[in-house]
Amino acid sequence: METVSTATPAWTRDTVKGEKRDLWTAMKRGFRCRCPRCGEGKLFRAFLKVDDHCSACGLDFTPHRADDLPAYLVIVIVGHIVLGAFMAVEATSTLSTWQHVAIWVPLTILLAVALLQPVKGAVIGLQWALYMHGFGGEKDELEPHPGA
């Protein structure tokens, strides 16, 4: 007869059996820099430093693997906004080059800084909602090399 251990491993401590994870709700909560599960606890302890766990519901944030994706997404979003706005203004006005530089460079920097944390939060919300990496309750381990 198979014996089942009743001890809960540390990596499953935040896993609630049968919990419903709505993708858009989790991403919206992450975008607001809140916990994707409860929407109450803060997701970040510094600008881009993700907290270890939720202060409200205890969700373990350490399995997230946002890595470079938020930066790539911010580049795509800000690029489309700034380039579209630049082309519209360029086509409808007679601003000089230095006036364009004075408008678009600060706007690009401001938008990038303003969007980086919310986009990272949304990416973490997406990973949690889709049970990615360690958010599904299993260990997130590297696959062994095929030759090993």
List CB contacts of 64: < 8 A, sequence separation 6 or more. 50, 123, 124, 127, 128, 133, 135
**Residue 19 CB, nearest distance to Zn ion (Å)?**
12
CA distance 91 to 86: 8
CA distance 111 to 82: 9
What is the nearest approach in angstroms of Zn ion to the Cβ of residue 20?
15
Measured from the CB atom, the residue of 39 and 118 that comes closer to Zn ion is: 39
Residue 107 interacts with Zn ion (CB under 5 A)? no
Judged by CB under 5 A, the stretch of 40-48, 60-68, 119-127, 138-146 that binds Zn ion is 40-48
Taking contact as CB under 5 A, which single stretch among the options 36-44, 62-70, 76-84, 93-101 is the one that binds Zn ion? 36-44
Using CB under 5 A, which of 54, 78, 115, 123 touches Zn ion?
54
Distances (CA, A) of 122 to 47, 101, 144: 14, 31, 30
Q: Summarize as ranges the residues that interact with Zn ion (CB under 5 A).
A: 35, 37-38, 41, 54, 56-57, 59
